[in-house]
Amino acid sequence: MDLAISGIDLAILVSYLVGVVLFGLWIGRGQRDVAAYLLGGRDLPCWAVLLSIVATETSTVTFLSLPGLAFRPEGGNLLFLQLAIGYILGRFVVVFLFLPSYFHGDLFTAYEVLDRRFGGATKQAASVLFLVTRNLADGLRLFLTAIVLQEMLGLELWSSVVVLGIITIVYTFFGGMRSVVWNDCIQFAVYLGGALLAGAVILVFLGSGTTELTDWAQNLPRGWTRLIEYGQQHGKLQLFDFSFSLTQPYTFWSGLIGGLFVALATHGTDQLMVQRYLSARSQRAAGRALALSGVVVLGQFALFMLIGVGLACFYDLFPPATAFDSSDRAFSAFIVDFLPVGAVGIIVAAVFSAAMSTLSGSLNSSAATAVNDLYLPCRKTKPSAGHLLWVSRGLTIVFGVVQIGVGLVGSLLAQSVIESVMAIATFAIGVVLGVFFLGVLTRRVTQRAALLALIVGLAAMTAIVFQTDLAWPWFAIVGSSITFVIGCVSAAFFPSKTDHDEA
């Protein structure tokens, strides 16, 4: 096995990974109950929750694929940023529509709100759907990250999956939510710093006209001027497309409307995000963190995409020996081929950071959902705090192994199959959003009507995803609308004198 990076870069990467694990061990000391383990004692500061939200929704795919969108020789531009408009608006709606319900009582999961409104069966159905789609999707994200690491480090694919998975399991197992959030803050700084460093190197190269790192102060502004001129000449700085289309993913209307509903689903009803709000010191702190995170994400997206424009300009000046078979490979190839020794190790650590921030949150939120929504209802007596703590830690390992298994199986699947499975995870959140709408916005819809709406919504979205060309930003609004309408109509066939059926 020949590593593609130098010994110095490898030492930087290994030091970072060891540091992450040791930090998880240190931060998790003294945890004695499930509230401390799964929710960080409900005492995490606003700014840490904010950075954790941003880091969690930033995966390796985001880190490398967003530059690829702008880099594309044909059609590469900044239109993706239109989605961020809807993402920002959606977060504000979540603050006012869903957040009060999550802070009404000592909840551990988002789906306990459904239990309060409908009953245990609805809560458990939503929880199982979350666990299946979350672990399937994140297992495949682990596999996609391993492909990148295989290219950048020269590791075997299976070993990349296993190493990344085990490291994430270890620090999540010992540190719990507190370790997840604080490591997210570190990982945010690492991957953002890595992106800024890579962007600066690109600008220096553009400013000097060579691949030699000389006179940063002089060449940085020259490189920026060249990037802007190139972007304008080749249409890569186009930011808005006001045409209306249900099949094109990046238009102003799909960004504004579709992006708003995507944010409502991912940040309003998904336990991966809701668990961070519940870890904050108060509803106000959680709301502030959530609202501000949209602005940070917009800035982050803009940085990644400008790097893509810079890569397009760079490879126009210095064409690669072989054309890239995928635009996603442009950034990783630049990192390995052109960054100086030391910088490569930092960027590879940034790639690890982007992956682990998502995966660790996935493990912790999966454990919280399984313990509170599935395990506890099966118990006839309330277990001790210590028992629940170890069950939560055990489930963290279980879900980690499941995701590693999915990642290993991913190597046997065609890329088209992986994309289809990821689509399933995307549209399922819209259906769950529709059930939450039924719980928050109606009073006459019963549990049987809500469950029927959930089933019909999933069936309808399965047909839509695989039989139509509907663009993915519309999945959440279509799925939630179908589910909501079916639930309201079904209420006439499943009347109840109360708003809460027997579970």
**CATH number assigned to the domain comprising residue 12:** 1.20.1730.10
The angle at the Cα of 354, spanning 331 to 328, to the nearest 5 degrees, equals 25
Asked, for residue 470, whether it belongs to a domain, the answer is yes
Asked, for residue 403, whether it belongs to a domain, the answer is yes
What proportions of the chain, in percent to the nearest 5, are helix, strand and coil? 75, 0, 25
| DSSP letter string, 83-134 | HHHHHHHHHHHHHHHTHHHHTTTT-SSTTHHHHHHT-HHHHHHHHHHHHHHH
pLDDT at 499 over 50: no
Q: What is the pLDDT of residues 384-425, one digit of tens each?
A: 888 888 999 999 999 999 999 998 887 776 555 555 555 666
pLDDT at 502 over 50: no
Q: Cβ neighbours of residue 356 under 8 Å, at least 6 residues apart? A: 20, 164, 167, 168, 183, 187
Structure-token pair, residue 126? 């939503």
Q: Measuring CA to CA, which residue among 211, 219, 194 is closest to residue 332?
A: 194
Q: Percent of the chain at pLDDT above 90?
A: 55
Mean pLDDT confidence for 245-253: 94
Asked, for residue 2, whether it belongs to a domain, the answer is no
The Cβ of residue 497 has, within 10 Å, a number of other Cβ atoms equal to: 5
Say what the pLDDT of residue 417 is.
55
Q: Measuring CA to CA, which residue among 190, 189, 213 is closest to residue 203?
A: 213
Asked, for residue 112, whether it belongs to a domain, the answer is yes
Say what the pLDDT of residue 126 is.
94
Asked, for residue 496, whether it belongs to a domain, the answer is no
Q: Where are the alpha helices (DSSP H) in 209-282?
A: 216-233, 252-253, 259-268, 271-278
pLDDT at 5 over 80: no
Residue 335 CA, chain-centre distance (Å), reads 23
Q: Where are the alpha helices (DSSP H) in 318-446?
A: 329-338, 343-369, 376-378, 385-410, 415-441
3-state helix/strand/coil string of 379-407: CCCCCCHHHHHHHHHHHHHHHHHHHHHHH
Give the chain's domain count: 1
Q: Measuring CA to CA, which residue among 367, 58, 80 is closest to residue 249?
A: 80
> Are 148 and 336 a contacting pair, CB within 8 Å?
no
Report the C-alpha gap between 450 and 448 in whole angstroms.
5
Burial class, 229, CB count within 10 angstroms (exposed 0-12 / middle 13-18 / buried 19+): exposed
3-state secondary structure of 280: strand
Structure-token pair, residue 129? 């759907």
The Cβ of residue 1 has, within 10 Å, a number of other Cβ atoms equal to: 7
Q: What is the pLDDT of residues 111-150, one digit of tens each?
A: 999 999 999 999 999 999 999 999 988 888 888 788 777 7
Q: Which amino acid is at 318?
A: F
CA distances (Å), origin 87, targets 13, 126, 169: 33, 23, 30
pTM of the model: 0.91
DSSP symbol at 10: H
Q: Measuring CA to CA, which residue among 113, 147, 145 is closest to residue 127?
A: 113
Q: Measuring CA to CA, which residue among 12, 76, 54, 156 is closest to residue 330?
A: 76
Would you place residue 496 in the very low, low, confident or very high pLDDT band (cuts 50, 70, 90)? Answer: low
Q: What is the pLDDT of residues 429-481, one digit of tens each?
A: 899 999 999 999 998 899 999 999 999 999 999 899 889 999 989 999 999 99
Report the C-alpha gap between 413 and 382 in whole angstroms.
43
Say what the pLDDT of residue 414 is.
56
Say what the pLDDT of residue 465 is.
86
Asked, for residue 136, whether it belongs to a domain, the answer is yes
Q: What is the pLDDT of residues 350-373, one digit of tens each?
A: 888 888 888 888 999 999 999 999
| DSSP letter string, 144-181 | HHHHHHHHHH---HHHHHHHHHHHHHHHHHHHHHHHHH
Q: Measuring CA to CA, which residue among 89, 24, 454, 503 is closest to residue 267?
A: 89
The residue to which tokens 């809500």 are assigned: 450
Report the C-alpha gap between 454 and 104 in whole angstroms.
25
Q: What is the pLDDT of residues 314-353, one digit of tens each?
A: 999 999 888 888 787 889 889 888 888 888 888 888 888 8
Asked, for residue 1, whether it belongs to a domain, the answer is no
3-state secondary structure of 44: strand
Say what the pLDDT of residue 421 is.
57
Say what the pLDDT of residue 503 is.
41
**Which range of residues forms the domain containing residue 198?**
7-490
Would you place residue 501 in the very low, low, confident or very high pLDDT band (cuts 50, 70, 90)? Answer: very low
Q: For the chain, what is the mean pLDDT?
A: 88
Asked, for residue 499, whether it belongs to a domain, the answer is no
Q: Measuring CA to CA, which residue among 381, 384, 386, 478 is closest to residue 427?
A: 478
> Are 410 and 418 a contacting pair, CB within 8 Å?
yes
